[in-house]
Chains A and B, each alone.
Chain A
């Protein structure tokens, strides 16, 4: 695909996250999250602001700000990303796990051209020479669907459209051929047609390279378009997960049901408010005792306010955490 001699495509190994916790000082933002994504598959993590989905993404990509602490495991093959330190961690960045952020404008260096920002991955990580790296950058831009890669390569971030900036970010993320791509709402700021183009592009490229893709979003409509499997997060925990059809057709958790049935016709008009139908607002800061959703749940029972319900098997690969499910098996 490019003149750069890339190393052999890394062995497909997927991502397994086990009992992941993230704390910002006293605040326990992610409280024991577990999931796995097979190579070439896409897991969508969906939830409202403050549910811990971005913290989960940053933790797995090892990009949490200083002062945050992580516990648990995030395994890619034999490598535990949570444990990785120093040189091991640096080697893993970009090659084992790559990260695609929401705001590409802020995530690109404003004083460097697109070419330079992509090429440095090739020269530092693949040992490409100056001209190889420059040519490789243009090839990557073509690979992420940019029509005039030569001319776009010369431009600075402020000279690119929102969709092009996000494609440049994708080129940077894919430059070192990672095994896992964490995409943290990269299409939220884009309009719907551009968003659709990026969604299918990411999906196609990650499948072709047998990459495991974790797509973070608050938009249940995006989930339907991209995911193989879905994890629904609420209050720092996964409250339900399963294959995408199951989640849409037989949601078990009251929160997932509310999400899936929330009106989506108005998405174009109100892209940021897809959850209007759920009364109340998600917890910020302190999560309540017991099931985090119980203050907003219309079916809440006595135990809901006291203990966190365990994850219950509801079918193949499908599980949900709700006291109502154990009450009526």
Chain B
């Protein structure tokens, strides 16, 4: 187990390094001069040169990369060009909000999708309601869904505050957007797994034991039927995170996504880089966490670790 964890963490570090490398290269391909952004349009060439020297922008790309990586090791992600604050501090301030929203979205996806999938899966034939809901949700782009929820529940019905920020019921609409967006996928996966599990010989064994139907479902069907959904949650986490970026912007949720969007418009390279690195770390950690949960639930997956 310790060896497995060490391997997984090593691979995670490699992944994050790869992401840093890729983003760093992208930063230098993207047009725009950060020195010009910081110093303003009327700065003299001398001032621009000074700014560049301060930010190490006059060094080679390789030297800059080395400088950046050395910083990461010490927990230093640089200083924001625009806000004049350490990037690490900016991210730490906003990380809890993003994690809260991400987990709420993931939970809603799993709960809504799981409930719908189970409800449909125990029926002998596929229900029309699930098909209609699935097609409906799948064909609505995420941003329309966000605006429909905002307009209907926030503006028309005034059920939830739409002034941005966190706290109270403000999480409901953004989390619901994420949950509804991912729900159809989970509903389908759980539904198919339910059908497969219900037809499995071990379910027949459970019936042959004379267990009540509820015990057959609870003890033998559900646990096996949720295994594929968990695998999917692991794969889906990166997609969920990119959804969070968008949803935060629409609902004014002060998380990393919002920070990233602002940084993108301001060509605030250190902040942009920092959010990407943190997102990569989050994905690596979440994937590992989900694999550990899967191992706890399904003893067959424990074989891989030996």
Contact = CB atoms under 8 A, between A and B. Distances in A.
A110 interface: yes
A229 B256 CA distance: 76
Contacts of B124: 66
B202 interface: yes
B46 to A, nearest CB: 70
Given A65-B199, A120-B219, A158-B300, A107 B210 contact: no
Nearest to A175: B209
A103 B206 CA distance: 15
Q: Which residue, B202, B210, B227, B297, has most C-beta atoms of chain A within 10 A?
A: B210
A93 interface: yes
Contacts of A120: 209, 211, 215, 219
Contacts of A76: none
A296 to B, nearest CB: 32
A237 interface: no
A63 B200 CA distance: 12
Contacts of B223: 111
Contacts of B211: 120, 124
A274 interface: no
Contacts of A108: 202, 205
B210 A156 contact: no
B208 A94 contact: yes
Given A66-B124, A158-B300, A109 B206 contact: yes
Nearest to A67: B124
A134 interface: no
A65 B198 CA distance: 11
Contacts of A106: 200-202
A91 interface: yes
A124 B298 CA distance: 24
B136 interface: no
A90 interface: yes
B297 A124 contact: no
Given A156-B299, A156-B300, A109 B202 contact: yes
Interface in B207-231: 207-212, 215, 219-220, 223-224, 227
Interface residues of B, number: 25
A98 interface: yes
A20 to B, nearest CB: 19
A124 B215 contact: yes
Nearest to A176: B210
A165 B55 CA distance: 68
> For chain B, what secondary structure do more than half of its interface residues adopt (helix, strand, loop), or is it mixed?
helix
Contacts of B210: 90-95, 121, 124-125, 176
B303 interface: yes
Interface string A90-128: 111111001101010011111110000100110011000
A121 B215 CA distance: 11
Contacts of A90: 210, 212
Contact of B202 (A61, A94, A110, A125): A110
A172 interface: yes
Place the interface of chain A in its size category. 20 to 34
Contacts of A61: 208
Given A95-B210, A124-B211, A107 B204 contact: yes
B209 A103 contact: no
A103 B224 contact: no
Contacts of A173: 208
Contacts of A121: 209-210
Contacts of B201: 101, 103, 106-107
Given A65-B199, A106-B202, A110-B224, A98 B208 contact: yes
B212 to A, nearest CB: 7
Contacts of B205: 101, 107-109, 117, 169, 172
Contacts of B220: 109, 112
Contacts of A158: 299-300, 303
B204 A110 contact: no
B144 to A, nearest CB: 40
Contacts of A66: 124
Contacts of B300: 110-111, 156, 158
B14 to A, nearest CB: 31
A63 B207 contact: yes
Contacts of A175: 209
A111 B298 contact: yes
B52 to A, nearest CB: 60
Interface string A160-178: 0000000001001101100
Given A106-B200, A106-B201, A111 B297 contact: yes
Interface in A73-102: 90-95, 98-99, 101
Interface in B117-174: 124
Contact of B209 (A101, A110, A112, A124): A124
A107 B200 CA distance: 8
A111 B224 CA distance: 8
24 contacts: A63-B204, A93-B207, A93-B208, A94-B208, A94-B209, A94-B210, A101-B204, A106-B202, A107-B205, A108-B205, A109-B224, A110-B202, A110-B224, A110-B299, A110-B300, A112-B220, A117-B205, A120-B209, A120-B215, A120-B219, A124-B209, A158-B300, A158-B303, A176-B210
